[in-house]
Structure 1
Amino acid sequence: MQIDLNADLGEGGDADEALLGLVSSANIACGWHAGGANAMRDCVRLAVQRGVAIGAHPSFHDPDNFGRKEMQLPPDDIYAGILYQLGALSAIAQAEGVRVVHLKPHGALYNQAARDPAIADAIISAVHDFDPSVAVFGLANSRFIAMAREAGLAAIEEGFADRGYRSDGSLVPRAEPGALIDDEDQMLEHVLSMVRDKRVRAVTGAWVPLDVRTLCLHGDGPHALAFARKLRRTLATNGIDVAPASALPH
């Protein structure tokens, strides 16, 4: 049994280097919600040193809200914005002798793509036109995943170690009770249910089937690194190997 562990990096936190020793895929901010040219280059270089797969983490152009405010933009604007951000990170990666192998939308863009076919299509089209061998990460069971596969892209279903789920498989919005899981034991049980049993318990108590191939570890919490280390030990104890999503069947 195998799983990919990913983390969002280059967002101004101080845990990037430590997290790169624990994850197998890095989603690197492309400057529109956080980061910038130097941060992207630093993250790419560190990822290369540790053998971590490199992915783009594009967002709405909204640094004031860290890309977490929903926006209603024309699909053509979203398409161009994805190409812009993906191209910037790809140029830096190429200069370091590697390539971008996946893309994971950030924040509000991620959540809107999971439910809005027009936004999903704009992202998918941009990735396909840029390089159809680039995989996309998206919310497990979402329309975004289904549409990406219909377009011929490798679509990697993602789960969240520290987020609560609704009974329809969507994430509980951050402003609502149950959105964030901060109890370490609960998080570990949550993860093992997803990876080993292919299901997750929603905040309603119902079980939701999920077949996740990558897990997101957020690095901005006060205990994020300690949890990430314990998670790696727990996965190993349960016979679950960690490998980049590009190396896993999908």
Structure 2
Amino acid sequence: MSDPLRPRASLRTAVVWEVLRDALDRRVKAAGRDALEVLDTGGGSGKFAVPLARLGHRVTVVDPSPNALFALERRAAEAGVADLVRGVQGDAHGLFDVVERDGYDLVLCHGVLEYVEDPAESVRNAVAALRPSGTLSLLAAGLGGAVLARALAGHFTEARQALADPAGQWGAGDPLTRRFTAEQLSGLVTDAGLAVTAVHGVRVFADLVPGVLVDAEPGAIDALLRLEAAAAEVPAFHSVATQLHVLAERG
């Protein structure tokens, strides 16, 4: 079976998948078993959960949307992993109303902190769901990427507003409640008792390069993927990434 984490990974998620795959390999070796228990908070329709299940891991998805969970069930069935994916309705605030503490080898908290009222509480809950040797994967919107995108689109006032706003919002029409710097995300993780093992910038270039350039040049997508991977670990690019990914473990 082909690796579901590589060729079909989009430009928006390729870097995260590569990091997760390496983390999974390490965790499998450390745990001494092939199948891990994974919790995906805010996992929606299973963009990450289903490929993880295809690798043989058992995945619990917590999401507040019944529609998203219905789509998750359908996607898991179509992928032949319905027996490995469980969807439950809930949110990061009341996480332990629907799942157990200390029960997971890997917890994903992707695209959650941008919307919750208390990001620190959500991170603490994600950490509390981990087993003593567990790994946390945290993905959230980056402040610098939003400022750069608004400026390049000619919305200079909105770019300045995002830069000045404590939550990183660019205006009343902003769909996100907040954005983060790499330092802020790392601080949330360390305050919750984990040690940060890696920080990656995600979508450093992908959201800025016109699609016509990628489509017109043979091999451009692969070249852009390699560029994204190379820039992801360079701290200088974290400040302009659309998203930031933090990987952390217990110290």
Q: Which has the higher contact order (CA 8 A, sep 6+)?
A: 1
Q: Assess same fold via TM > 0.5.
A: no
Normalised-by-shorter TM-score class: 0.3 to 0.5
Max Rg structure: 2
TM-score where L is the length of structure 2 = 0.38
TM-score where L is the length of structure 1 = 0.39
